[in-house]
A = this chain, B = another copy of it.
Amino acid sequence: MPAGFSFASLPAGIKVSGRPDLALVEAADSNAAALFTKNRVVAAPVEVGRASLWRSGGHVRVLIVNSGNANCATGPEGRRACKRICRETGKLLGAKPTEVFPSSTGIIGVPFPVERVLAKLPELIASKSQSETAAQGFADAIMTTDTRPKIASARFETAGKTVTVLGIAKGSGMIHPNLATMLVYLFTDIVASARDLRFLLREACDQSFNSMSVDGDTSTNDTVLLLASQRSGVSLGKGNGRKRFAGALNAACQSLAEQIVSDGEGAQHVIRLFIEQAGSQEEARQVARAIAHSALVKTAWAGADPNWGRILAAAGYSGVQLDPGKIRIHIADQMVCRHGEAHPFDEKRAHDALAQPECDVRVLLGRGKSSIRFLTTDLTAEYVRINADYST
């Protein structure tokens, strides 16, 4: 556990199921950085949280999260409710309203049950603890359609002191926009400025949460927050220390990204898509997204079908000015397409590889030296069933 963080959670009656749905972290006097959804439609807590971080100069003392209601498409009333919760939570813990960072996840367009949350705040705060059990309770309480909590940690030692990064996330891909927002919280005890944290967080996200996709939809509430309590006594610095911290942060983010993708609802197979020999990172990501968002490619994967023609065609319409004659495609250990044409391979072996819970697919573009690793899933009939049967 990183030093300087206390966790609490309880059921506040927001979820119909009666399961825990309100959670809090007291974060000493943390420096903070956050990344938010790029969706133009954003929930009240995203608006409020972004403005508060700006006003506080990147200071956060309390994090308050609820599941069961996204507080999105709720208008001025929703923003008032969110601010009121920040204000009251701050009062009880001696923090300014702008030092309380809010998140919500759950149904869209339903008035936020502000009174229920306010009524539970004292009990919630009284129960906070620095224990691992309390952190696990936090991970449970922020879940919506997730089938399991998502926790990752990494640490390193320097001059006899330990720096810890603890990551807790929820989300099973943007599977229910009403329910499956991605929320990621990263807690560390390193000494670092908000400015440095922002830079490191952006880098770590590019390699993890920005390099994955379940169904291509982007939520209105997606948030990644990094809090640094400064309690380890270890400063970020510039050289090796910074590198080691970046490594720990990336490791935590990548583990959480894998947990999120493999918990994608209805997902049977996780595909590790490697786009190589691209002209740039952005280009590689563009091709990866086209492939990972193709309903045709994803349904082929659901059937463990080594249909490389669909992968080639999706790369072709990605918008990147590819030369199809230079493209090679590998499924697991076999080359299946060379010079943009069929290359003989053992279909049974390719089918068996795609039928595993995880499989590598490599697409070589023959354009340059950039490459990315992109996590995605298949598209199953179960996905359709879940999303067609769920009703507002």
Binds B, one of A14-22, A68-76, A272-280: A68-76
**A270-B251 Cα distance, complex, nearest whole Å:** 45
**A176-B303 Cα distance, complex, nearest whole Å:** 14
Flag if B342 contacts A388 (CB, 8 Å): no
Considering only residues 215-235 of chain A, those with a C-beta below 8 Å from chain B are 215-220
Considering only residues 22-44 of chain A, those with a C-beta below 8 Å from chain B are 38-42
Binds B, one of A57-65, A124-132, A304-312: A304-312
A-B contact pairs, 19 of them (CB 8 A): A41-B312, A73-B337, A73-B341, A74-B341, A75-B340, A109-B309, A109-B342, A178-B310, A219-B313, A220-B313, A295-B387, A299-B383, A299-B386, A302-B384, A303-B387, A303-B391, A307-B390, A379-B384, A381-B384
**A310-B314 Cα distance, complex, nearest whole Å:** 25
Closest to A310 in B: B177
CB of A347 to closest CB in B, whole Å? 8
Chain A binding surface, main DSSP class: loop
**How large, as a class, is the contact surface on chain A?**
35 or more
CB contact between A305 and one of B38, B109, B347, B392 (< 8 Å): that residue: B392
Considering only residues 341-392 of chain A, those with a C-beta below 8 Å from chain B are 341-342, 347, 379-381, 383-392
Give the number of copies in the complex: 2
Is residue A152 within 8 Å, beta carbon to beta carbon, of the partner chain?
Answer: no
Binds B, one of A153-161, A197-205, A316-324: A316-324
Chain B residues contacting A392 (CB-CB under 8 Å) are 305-309, 347
Is residue A169 within 8 Å, beta carbon to beta carbon, of the partner chain?
Answer: no
Flag if A314 contacts B217 (CB, 8 Å): yes
Is residue A271 within 8 Å, beta carbon to beta carbon, of the partner chain?
Answer: no
Is residue A339 within 8 Å, beta carbon to beta carbon, of the partner chain?
Answer: yes
Flag if B295 contacts A216 (CB, 8 Å): yes
Is residue A143 within 8 Å, beta carbon to beta carbon, of the partner chain?
Answer: no
Given contacts A75-B325, A303-B390, A381-B385, 7 further A-B contacts (CB under 8 A): A39-B313, A41-B312, A42-B324, A108-B313, A109-B308, A299-B384, A384-B384
Is residue A67 within 8 Å, beta carbon to beta carbon, of the partner chain?
Answer: no
Flag if B341 contacts A217 (CB, 8 Å): no
Flag if B391 contacts A38 (CB, 8 Å): no
**A43-B175 Cα distance, complex, nearest whole Å:** 35
Chain B residues contacting A306 (CB-CB under 8 Å) are 392
Chain B residues contacting A41 (CB-CB under 8 Å) are 312-313, 315-316, 322, 324, 327, 340
Chain B residues contacting A215 (CB-CB under 8 Å) are 295-296
CB of A388 to closest CB in B, whole Å? 3
Chain B residues contacting A39 (CB-CB under 8 Å) are 313, 316-317
Chain B residues contacting A38 (CB-CB under 8 Å) are 317
Is residue A300 within 8 Å, beta carbon to beta carbon, of the partner chain?
Answer: yes
Chain B residues contacting A117 (CB-CB under 8 Å) are none
Flag if B110 contacts A342 (CB, 8 Å): yes
Is residue A294 within 8 Å, beta carbon to beta carbon, of the partner chain?
Answer: yes
CB of A113 to closest CB in B, whole Å? 15
Flag if B305 contacts A390 (CB, 8 Å): yes
**A60-B322 Cα distance, complex, nearest whole Å:** 30
Flag if B387 contacts A339 (CB, 8 Å): no
CB of A41 to closest CB in B, whole Å? 3
**A303-B371 Cα distance, complex, nearest whole Å:** 39
CB of A332 to closest CB in B, whole Å? 16
CB of A165 to closest CB in B, whole Å? 29
Flag if B317 contacts A217 (CB, 8 Å): yes
